[in-house]
Amino acid sequence: MGNKRDPESFLKEEMKTLRESNLEWFIRHLESSSKPHSKVDGKEVLMLNTNNYLGLATHPKIIEATIEATKKYGAGAGAVPVIAGTFDLTRKFQEKFAKFKEVEASLLCQTGYAVNSGLIPMLVGKPDIVVSDELNHGSIIDGVRLSGAKRIIYKHRDISDLETQLREAEKEEARRICIITDGVFSMDGDIAPLDKIRPLCKKYKARLILDDAHSTGVLGENGGGTHEHFNLPAGDDIIMGTFSKSFAVNGGFISASKPIINYLRMMSRSYMFSASLPPVTIAAVIAGLDVLEKEPHLMKQLHENVAFATNGLRKFGLASEPKAGIIALKVPGNVDIRKLACHFHKAGIFLNAIEFPAVPLHKQRFRISIMATHTRKDLEKLIFIVEDLWNKYVIPLQS
Ligand code: PMP
């Protein structure tokens, strides 16, 4: 018997329960760069797990920019922004990015997760209400928890339920109300109806916080994100996101009005108490913006690839109609999704099972990330293998 006061005993018990419930995740090892043909655990595979949507992780111009930045600025910042300062590269990037997002100002942050945990508690607190889509990302959920504000959930993308919940929030006489939603939902790949959410913000005097993680570099004519997709100005909205998806590096951003950014630069705890991004990353995001501007065919190719793969996969059951870079392939609850993931691996396809807690129990799926750099042959292979595995392991269990 372990010591009951010791967290380790508790964690061992928890782990045992997870293992017994077949809920333990295993993590594979990538032995090459994150590109369509990668090496994973010693095997050459077709990569379908990375959010490197545009293939920027291996783009020659970006690699060149990162080498130059490392030579000039060294490996890292060595401290938090308010102590060590930020690089001139950071200022250059923030100005460029604010223009890209069509807002007054932007703040380059450490990660998208850090943004949500630092930003949301600055906007709302205990006497306030956050009205949140039920499928919002975990970093939003954690940010709201940290803020202490009351969280009211509305049904996924359901405008009439959103209005019902806003009416409830109004009755409670909250000091401030924020609506918060992913732009593109990370596990389903569908888009928040921003055009319909916006009028409700106005009607109920609620501020919109938009998580543009999977939309930036993917949606809108210039890759500007969800606003550009709907042809809406950013207005008063607070847009956050990450560079860990289409920019294929790390880092988070907040794009908003100057007063908001100025305050967050001083007071957001995750920004203040965490070291600045290394120059290599800042150079990569600057170069990424240039590539977006000069090589629009990458985004076009991504959307063509998504449409092609969607057409081939639709009959196997999709969680939603794909609109960005993600295709969510549903797997019925009675199928052992882990075994299926191993069969994919054996067949040379790298696709991880997405299970609880990333999605609710019984909503297991394969979340396929399409890249602009996948070829038609790659996507045909994917469709062929899905058909083969579904015929062997999924369809017999359905009938
Ligand atoms: N928001 C969404 C919608 C995401 O999918 C992610 C990444 N999984 C994040 C925020 C967090 O971004 P980061 O990887 O930079 O922490």
Do domains 22-51+296-398 and 60-294 share one topology? The answer is: no
Assigned CATH topology for domain 22-51+296-398:
Aspartate Aminotransferase, domain 1 (3.90.1150)
Mean pLDDT of the region 97-116 = 98
Q: Model confidence over 283-295: pLDDT tens digits? A: 999 999 999 999 9
4 Cα to the center of ligand 1, angstroms: 35
pLDDT band for position 117 (cuts 50, 70, 90)? very high
Q: Model confidence over 143-170: pLDDT tens digits? A: 999 999 999 999 999 999 999 999 999 9
The predicted pLDDT at position 24 comes to 82
The predicted pLDDT at position 293 comes to 97
The predicted pLDDT at position 184 comes to 98
The predicted pLDDT at position 290 comes to 98
Q: Ligand 1: which residue has its CA nearest to atom 13?
A: 112
Mean pLDDT of the region 209-227 = 98
| Sheet arrangement for strand 43-47 | 37-40, 43-47, 349-350
Closest to 379 (Cα-Cα) out of 368, 389, 390, 364: 368
Q: Ligand 1: which residue has its CA nearest to atom 9?
A: 112
206 Cα to the center of ligand 1, angstroms: 24
How far apart, in whole angstroms, are the C-alpha atoms of residue 264 and residue 26? 37
pLDDT above 90 coverage of the chain, percent: 90
Q: Model confidence over 77-99: pLDDT tens digits? A: 999 998 988 999 999 999 999 99
Domain parsing of the chain, residue ranges = 22-51+296-398, 60-294
Question: Is the C-beta atom of 247 inside 6 A of ligand 1?
Answer: no
124 Cα to the center of ligand 1, angstroms: 21
How far apart, in whole angstroms, are the C-alpha atoms of residue 96 and residue 354? 36
The predicted pLDDT at position 35 comes to 95
* Better-scored residue on pLDDT, 222 or 399: 222
Q: Domain 60-294 is in which class?
A: alpha beta
The angle at the Cα of 247, spanning 253 to 108, to the nearest 5 degrees, equals 20
Average pLDDT, the chain: 95
The predicted pLDDT at position 1 comes to 53
